[in-house]
Amino acid sequence: MEIVVKGLRKEYNGFTAVDNLDFEIEKGEIFGIVGPNGAGKTTTLKMLSGLITPTQGSIKIQGMDIKKDTQKIKQKLGFLPEESPLYEGMTADNYLSFFAEIYGIERIAAKRRITDILMALKLEASDKKIGEMSKGMQRKVAIARALINDPEYLIFDEMTSGLDPTTSRYLADFVSGLKKQGKTVVFSAHNLYQVESLCDRVLIMNGGKELAIGTMHEIKKMCGGIEYTIEFGIEETFDFEAVKNSGNFIARTNNLEEFNRITGWVAKHNGKIIDIRTVETSLEEIFLKLMG
């Protein structure tokens, strides 16, 4: 495992923001963290980035301890905070050149890197100042800054917060492309559809605690499952729940054994199966269920 988190805890003056988290992230994985406001997502991401120190527990990245090897780890990280102030009087090109210099990137290599990033994000190098750009374009500049040192690990806090659907979708596709480059991405989001479609695994938090973790299939199996809907026609009476619908009946169940029993009973009593549908519980439905 590339990132290993054990017993992670963060307290602020007696308030526990993150409470005993354990999880691991594989290389090249997109790992999502979701939860309501105040769940501890941002605090967790800041600890992963080395910006704040855990009260208890450990974070290891490539076997290095975040407390002991902070600077070495930061060289491998790109962090995008939810609120990312930019130097609004600078152009995107100059802004990125400034940060490339901070990272010690040689000038010719930096220029090539900046050109590639701007092209990938569909940001044109121009004389327009950052303060004159739209919110979506400014967010792209902030993402470009997080990529300037070609990091192996990217940590994004609410990457698409407040953006229009087109820009939000573009950035989601961009993150998917980063995975194909072998980069590991950890991000938080309120857009649960985006999380469900992008992430290899998801951590659901509330009150600083883990509520569920795993692949979408594992989380759905633990917390949601699959609903089977059977529409059938029959004249016999039956001993399971079903509602009448235009002369036929519809039965619903989350249990595969019950599904087999119903379909078997209908067939045995010369009934007619008209339609069978399976519907997976969405991440949004699971999230609302876990939040009560």
Say whether both 241 and 154 belong to one domain. no
pLDDT one-digit tens code per residue, 164-210:
888 899 999 999 999 999 999 999 999 898 999 999 999 999 999 99
pLDDT at 217: 85
Length of the chain: 292
Residues of the chain scoring pLDDT < 70? 125
pLDDT at 163: 87
pLDDT at 182: 93
Say whether both 217 and 239 belong to one domain. no
pLDDT at 245: 87
User: Domain boundary residue among 198, 221, 244?
Assistant: 221
d(C-alpha 95, C-alpha 100), whole Å: 9
Say whether both 122 and 239 belong to one domain. no
pTM for the predicted model, two decimal places: 0.84
Say whether both 94 and 130 belong to one domain. yes
User: Domain boundary residue among 189, 221, 253?
Assistant: 221
CATH number of the domain within which 286 lies: 3.30.1490
Say whether both 217 and 261 belong to one domain. no
- Alpha helix (H) residue ranges in the chain: 41-48, 70-74, 92-102, 107-120, 135-147, 165-180, 192-198, 216-219, 256-268, 283-290
Instruction: Write the CB contacts of 292 (distance below 8 Å, at least 6 apart in sequence).
Output: none
Report how many domains make up the chain. 2
Say whether both 254 and 131 belong to one domain. no
Say whether both 52 and 153 belong to one domain. yes
pLDDT at 157: 96
pLDDT at 285: 87
CATH number of the domain within which 15 lies: 3.40.50.300
| Domain residue limits at 87 | 3-221
Say whether both 215 and 285 belong to one domain. no
pLDDT at 10: 97
Say whether both 163 and 252 belong to one domain. no
Say whether both 230 and 210 belong to one domain. no
Say whether both 142 and 215 belong to one domain. yes
User: Domain boundary residue among 221, 245, 279?
Assistant: 221
d(C-alpha 33, C-alpha 111), whole Å: 34
Say whether both 134 and 261 belong to one domain. no
Rounded alpha-carbon distances, angstroms, from residue 291 to 93, 137, 279: 44, 34, 21
